[in-house]
Chain A
């Protein structure tokens, strides 16, 4: 039984289908994750970064309970985790990492702007490649061409990040560009390291909806502690919330958008690994550039040389990510992934048949998940909270290009619909 996982068979066509699905999810994640950062522009209108980050996390928390309730029912979530209860600890830890990283991104945007901060914290893909290779046998037995694509792509991405950091320190209007760069890179380290729990969960076989449900406890708790601590206590924090109540809807919406992007990213991590899935989703930097320059008119009035450097740095990062993405896993490398999964089964006593079935995106119990009154209560409650904040919301006083905003929103909805259909048909959301 101990070698069942490593010696199990999966048809190569099924493996290719799952890899294509994973690649699509990576790009879909990019579009949604970029849109989720747009509300952080509110920092420019003098709202505390901790208020922005807290509301974004609250939006993510509400979405991470209501979306799984809608898709698979809360009972399905708890049935799933009973197979691998130790992963609750990793889910919580990943949430803590995300909350700290997300708060750092708000400081980064405040100090150096979205178009510069975004590519810098996307260096998290480099971190993901390192952890994926060292800890989960990704790229093992992959062949020199795959190594060249992934490592070469990572080097190109890093060069792009360096170019952008030079632009930010020489042309930033902020008094603290070094602080902004440190915040952005720190966020990259947090996001890159949160992928360790992700990958651990998915090679073990956990459903992404289940993992993210426990992730929310880590992120909500950490974010509340950070917000209350750094704003000077409960009452000052509450005062900040009530003082800015009319704009709280926007980061709340950003949190919901983040969850959609995060779900796609998790499916990418599951089916193509973190060394490929994360760089794919980090093409969000290009969408971030579109949001920043087209919707919010950032970098207006600077020299052509600056535009060339920003565009060049971003394109370098995107080219590197694409090189990585198209270095698909061979059958030999897939065998190495199964060894990593075997380690989890041996260490934690997990049933091999469970691990094998889930690696192939199958679960014979999936269709039996039913929604109860608790699920509808969660969905209804979350919807009411979003609507409530939306009713009192006002549009911040800032320059917005509405045509671009509508176009980007339409693209996001189309990608979501297509991705949802594909995930249901191929994996039933496993």
Chain B
């Protein structure tokens, strides 16, 4: 199934995924509120490996600094 998007008097035919994306971008550029699930970030952060790995590295570096100074 394809969907249509009217632009400047002519009809543009798009695939569904690209249609959804372009609608989202158009609405954002026109300062429309695009609803997206807003949630707290603390719990996701504490479950995120991207948080714990650099934190562990930081503690290791502090230890090295203490030993060499």
Contact = CB atoms under 8 A, between A and B. Distances in A.
A357 B34 CA distance: 14
B54 A179 contact: no
B62 interface: yes
A183 B45 CA distance: 30
Contact of A190 (B36, B44, B51, B61): B61
A384 B49 CA distance: 42
Residue among B37, B38, B54, B65 facing the most chain A CB atoms (10 A cut-off): B54
Given A104-B65, A186-B65, A353 B44 contact: no
B34 A351 contact: yes
A364 B20 contact: no
B61 A86 contact: no
A230 B45 contact: no
Interface residues of B, number: 33
Nearest to A176: B68
Given A186-B64, A356-B21, A349 B54 contact: no
A338 to B, nearest CB: 12
Given A86-B45, A89-B45, A183-B68, A189 B29 contact: no
A107 B68 contact: yes
Interface stretch (A2-10, A29-37, A282-290): A2-10
A193 interface: yes
Interface string B24-66: 1100110000101111010011001111011101101110110
Range class of the A interface residue count? 35 or more
Contacts of A85: 41
Given A97-B58, A189-B57, A193-B57, A1 B64 contact: no
Given A4-B21, A9-B18, A107-B68, A196 B39 contact: no
Interface string A336-364: 00000000000111111110110000001
A335 to B, nearest CB: 14
A103 interface: yes
Nearest to B26: A353
A186 B61 contact: yes
A348 B44 contact: yes
A178 to B, nearest CB: 10
Given A104-B61, A230-B69, A197 B44 contact: no
B41 to A, nearest CB: 3
Interface string B1-24: 000000000000000011011001
A182 B64 CA distance: 8
A86 B44 contact: yes
Interface string A215-259: 000000000001000100000000000000000000000000000
A86 B28 contact: no
B58 A200 contact: no
A149 interface: no
Contact of B68 (A94, A96, A104, A351): A104
A226 B38 contact: no
B64 A8 contact: no
Contacts of A3: 17
25 contacts: A3-B17, A4-B17, A8-B17, A9-B21, A86-B41, A89-B45, A90-B51, A100-B65, A104-B68, A182-B67, A182-B68, A186-B61, A186-B65, A186-B68, A189-B64, A190-B61, A193-B58, A196-B54, A197-B54, A230-B69, A348-B41, A349-B36, A351-B24, A351-B36, A353-B34
